[in-house]
Amino acid sequence: MTKTDQHSHRTDRLPDLPEPVRLAIRAAFDKKGSDVAVLDLRRGGAFTDFFVVCSGQNSRQVKAIADAVEEALRKELVRPSHVEGYSGAAWVLMDYFDFVVHVFTPDTRAFYALERLWGSAHRYDVSERDVS
């Protein structure tokens, strides 16, 4: 499956996002997170409204991105209800109730294909200018 096929639900215009989601995205970009995307799950009756998905090149960068997200949101008094995967750092999941942040190494992201599993969600590819 090509990258284009995987992202067939992609839409160019980013929806209005809650400020904590924007802060999480900015923090990921600050630590050079790549392939940043938002999956809008609001129409599918999922347990959360958004997934923020991004990649770090290795486990060290994955941890740095996760740390930056947590720090940026903590400054706004927003704390995750649950964090998984930090010790292994191939996939860190940070649950903020209304949204979940997923930070992957490239191989782990390809293996789990989260975007394909949630293929009915609208996917928005995000650039730094979208959240600045």
Q: For 21-52, how does the pLDDT look when each residue is reduced to its tens digit (9 = 90+)?
A: 999 999 999 999 999 999 999 987 789 999 99
Question: Residue 67: inside a domain, yes or no?
Answer: yes
124 located within any domain:
no
- Please give the biggest Cα pair distance in the chain: 41
pLDDT computed for residue 120 by the predictor:
86
Any domain includes 8: no
DSSP state of 42: G
CATH number reported for the structural domain that contains residue 78 in this entry: 3.30.460.10
Q: Is residue 53 part of a domain?
A: yes
Q: Look at the chain and report how many structural domains it folds into.
A: 1
Residues 1 and 60: their CA atoms lie apart, in Å, by 29
If residue 53 lies in a helix (H) or strand (E), which one and from where to where? Answer: strand 50-55
- Which residues constitute the domain of residue 63? 17-116
pTM over 0.85: yes
Handedness of CA 40, 102, 67, 96 (dihedral sign): positive
Is 130 a member of any domain?
no
